[in-house]
Structure 1
Amino acid sequence: MPKQNFNQQIENNFKSHAPKEAQPEMYEAIREKAKELAYLIDYLSPNSREKSVAMTNLETAVFWANASIARN
């Protein structure tokens, strides 16, 4: 494997980020709003592949939104 140069972005993206200050409340606010939308999707959408994809993408959005708080 070739010698790797230090890359701050890679270092930041692949380390554990302990919550700071108000971050836990921010994570929770995002999760609560997403859960509200998840229930709306579940109620209005017929069971289907499309509904499953919508739910998966909502979970993905929550993950990345919380990752943006943790990493930055």
Structure 2
Amino acid sequence: MVFFYIDNKKVTTYTFKQNYYFMMGDNRNGTLDSRAWGFVPEENIIGKVQYVLYSNYQDKFQWNRVLKNVN
């Protein structure tokens, strides 16, 4: 189970009063995302991902994914 802390208290659920988003990186074990820097207010989001720029899997570059649309 994943725990978050609010005011130094462990919580498993929380209902936001404003629009916040949990941003997850695509490399879950090696990326900094909301697990490191917290939830992101909607007004701080300036766009959305549309294309794959770089793709690496098991230390190999994935040329077949470069510039592909993200669904």
Which bracket does the TM-score occupy, shorter chain normalised? Answer: under 0.3
Q: Which structure has greater strand proportion?
A: 2
Q: Which structure has greater helix proportion?
A: 1
Higher-Rg structure is: 1
TM value normalised by structure 2:
0.20
